[in-house]
Amino acid sequence: GKLFDFARSQGCDYVSTGHYVRVEQRADGNFYLRKAVDASKDQTYVLYFLNQDQLSHVIFPLGDMTKVETRAVAAGQGFGNAQKAESMDICFVPDGDYARVVRACTGGVGQPGNFVTSAGEVRGQHKGIACYTIGQRKGLGLYGPEPVYVSAIDAAANTVTVGPRAELLRGDCLAGDMCWAAVAFVKERPEKVPLKSFAVFAPPFWALLYRINATAMATAAAQATTRMMVRHMFEIPRSRVRDLTPVQMCQLRAAAVTMSAAV
């Protein structure tokens, strides 16, 4: 991307970032994006799009360290942010008020509209679609015998669909712009793809792990599929995923190696 282009224009051979990921070059000569040592801080899903040229010119010094070790190094160097509180959401929105940031950047959060059910029943008025996200429960201002969650947002109709938790569950998703980071590995040795593979669905601020069918993933990788329906790949008992949202990232892994991801 542009950062790599700029680095090269300045005569730099490598780019170094503070992401918690690792890069490994294997005997086949290919570079692989691997999960960080500190699994609780792993950020491979953010960097799924890096190609072989980029992976060969990037350094992740924190990938082999835990967050505790990182803090210790920072403290030893006298860094003022060594004990800085964890950022659970967007780092530049510490109070969690994303609508405020959208309003400051764009001048608004959209026009008020209707909260509706999946059956079309109007449940109330929303403040603007930028104030809500899939899976949201708090701050809706809706009351009833059962909790309701945001299950869909229709920008064209300016409606926010709400319903019970069950309406958040999905058994499949359509993933596009697949980037098979380890496609050479899968094409050459599909039988070596571990059976314990995972799909990581990563909304902007958290990630969930779900076991998927490795055979289905290997087949898609061998064909270098760029757009695929991830359907019935989730194995029992966790067969359905909640809060799937457009523009989320879907990462497919074999063991700790990122095989593919898409938006």
Local structure of 254: helix, strand or coil: strand
* Residue length of the chain: 263
Let me know the angle formed at the C-alpha of 40 by 36 and 46, rounded to the nearest 5 degrees: 60
Q: So what's the pLDDT on residue 28?
A: 76
Chain center to CA of 226: 18
Q: Are 35 and 44 in contact (CB under 8 A)?
A: yes
Tell me the CA end-to-end span of the chain in Å, nearest whole number. 17
pLDDT at position 1: 76
Contacts of residue 98, defined as CB under 8 A and 6 or more positions apart, other chains included, come to: 90, 130
Measured distance CA(172)–CA(167) in Å, rounded:
13
For residue 162, give the H/E element and its range.
strand 159-163
Tokens of residue 175, six digits: 């993933």
Q: Which 8-state DSSP code applies to residue 198?
A: E
Residue 222 has a pLDDT of: 54
Report DSSP state, residue 7.
H
CA distances from 21 to 33, 56, 158, 261 (A): 7, 14, 39, 15
- According to the model, what pLDDT value does residue 71 have? 93
Two tokens, residue 172 = 């499949």
DSSP character for 185? H
- Nearest in space to 250 (alpha carbons), one of 262, 236, 239, 238: 262
CA distance 78 to 72: 10
Per-residue pLDDT of the chain (263 residues; tens, 9 = 90+): 789 999 999 999 999 999 999 998 888 788 888 889 998 888 887 787 788 888 999 999 999 999 999 999 999 999 988 888 877 667 778 777 888 888 888 888 788 999 999 999 999 999 999 899 888 998 899 988 889 999 999 999 999 999 998 888 776 666 666 666 655 555 554 444 443 344 444 433 333 444 445 555 555 555 555 555 555 444 444 445 666 777 667 666 655 555 555 54
Query: What distance in Å separates the CA atoms of residue 195 and residue 8, rounded to the nearest whole number?
Result: 40
What three-state secondary structure class fits 161? strand
Contact between 44 and 33 under an 8 Å Cβ cutoff? The reply is yes
